[in-house]
Amino acid sequence: MYTNIMMNIRLPRVVLAALVGAALSIAGAAFQGLLKNPLADPYTLGVSSGASVGAVLTLFFGLQLPVVGGFTLPVVSVAAALVTIAAVLSFSRLVHASMSVSTLILTGVIINSFLGAFISLIIALTGDNLLPIVHWLLGSVSMRGWSYVILFLPFFLLGTILLIINGRELNVMTYGEDKAKLLGVSVQQRKMLILIAGSLLTGSAVAVSGTIGFVGLVIPHITRLLWGTDHRHLLPLSALLGAGFLVLADLLSRTIIEPIELPIGIITSLAGAPVFALILIRQHRGGRSL
């Protein structure tokens, strides 16, 4: 009995928390480097809002797809995230052929605002069945078995590998696109690849765990302070630190107010906000920008 609980309930939960934490952290580090914006995180481009819309619609209508059955929610969320990626990239290219950093960020703001309003509309129409939607939006890895890990793993591996092998290119692109071109980097191709990889990680992570804030924003900053700004090291180390952080946050969510289990997103926000404030103060006093 104890072995069954450990292997089929506890262990997959820990593994999923580690994978989601790693995915959000490495995506956050990549976006901060690519967009040259220290406040960028995995949710900057609106992909998480797209995944959230898919999940909220699934819960609102009680959707059950015949082929995937109980996995309807994460499958629909991943599909919605992919549609959002396509929309962001298409709109950015329409506005500015070279998809400048400012265009991508502004497109993300537009997409986030629109999809956020749509989610609010669904919540307003939900009535008494509000709790499942709110609980999912706050983030959780509870009641997720190995099937969720298996569903998430291909997206995690693909996105992580694509980002890590582009670490050198990210280093070069932080000095500006013109310099990167002079050094032989195919800026447009690499930018598209990094955006898609980071968005895949974010969308699939949100699909299996809900929206978990501050992980992708704070962990890359901590990693940068400890081990430097070289993306060849920053990306994998951010993934490792993010994995450990989210496993610890999940442990606290289960034990801090027993027998009540808090959504993991509450724990990450409570821990992440003051830590990020301390980083800001330290950087400001040191005379450095983020």
CATH number at residue 25: 1.10.3470.10
Q: Which long-range contacts does 282-290 make (Cβ < 8 Å, 24+ apart)?
A: 282/225, 289/38, 290/38, 290/39, 290/221
Res 239: pLDDT:
98
- Judge whether 240 lies within some domain: yes
Q: How far apart (Å, rounded) are the C-alpha atoms in residues 143 and 253?
A: 14
Residues 6+ apart with CB under 8 A from 132: 59
Evaluate whether residue 25 is within a structural domain.
yes
pLDDT at 288: 55
Cβ-Cβ contacts under 8 Å for 134 (sequence gap 6 or more): 123
Q: How many domains does the chain have?
A: 1
Is 11 among the domain residues?
yes
Q: Residue 63 falls within a domain, yes or no?
A: yes
- Position 286 pLDDT exceeds 70: no
Phi, psi of 257 (to 5 degrees): -135, 60
Residue 41 CA to residue 24 CA, distance in Å, equals 8
Mean pLDDT computed over every residue of the chain? 88
Predicted pLDDT of residue 194: 92
**Which one is predicted more confidently, 98 or 155?**
155
- Lowest-confidence segment of 21-30, 134-143, 206-215 by average pLDDT: 134-143
Query: How many Å apart are CA 247 and CA 22, to the nearest integer?
Result: 10
pLDDT at 290 > cutoff 70: no
pLDDT confidence bin for 129, thresholds 50/70/90: confident
Residue 75 pLDDT > 90, yes or no?
no
Compute the average pLDDT of residues 250-264: 90
Per-residue exposure over 42-56, b if at least 16 CB sit within 10 Å of its own CB, e if not: bbbbbbbbbbbbbbb
Has residue 122 got a pLDDT over 70? yes
Given pLDDT bands bounded at 50, 70 and 90, which one contains residue 209?
very high
Torsion sign, CA atoms 58, 120, 114, 163: negative
Which of 193, 154, 198, 187 is closest to 46 using CA atoms?
198
| Amino acid 134: pLDDT | 86
Rounded mean pLDDT, 99-128: 87
Indicate whether 290 belongs to any domain.
no
ω into 38 cis (within 30 of 0): no
Q: What is the extent of the structural domain holding 174?
A: 2-285
Residue 137 one-letter amino acid: L
pTM here is 0.90
pLDDT (0 to 100) of residue 287: 57
The two structure tokens encoding residue 189: 């191709």
Contact 204, 19 (CB under 8 A): no
Residue 164 belongs to some domain of the structure: yes
- The tens digit of pLDDT for each residue in 220-236 reads 999 999 999 999 999 99
For residue 69, is it within any domain?
A: yes
Look at residue 259 in the predicted model and tell me its pLDDT. 84
User: What 3-state class would DSSP assign to 51?
Assistant: helix
User: Per-residue pLDDT tens for 4-58?
Assistant: 878 888 899 999 999 999 999 999 999 999 988 888 888 888 888 998 999 899 8
Report the percent of the chain where pLDDT is more than 70: 98
Is residue 17 in a domain?
A: yes
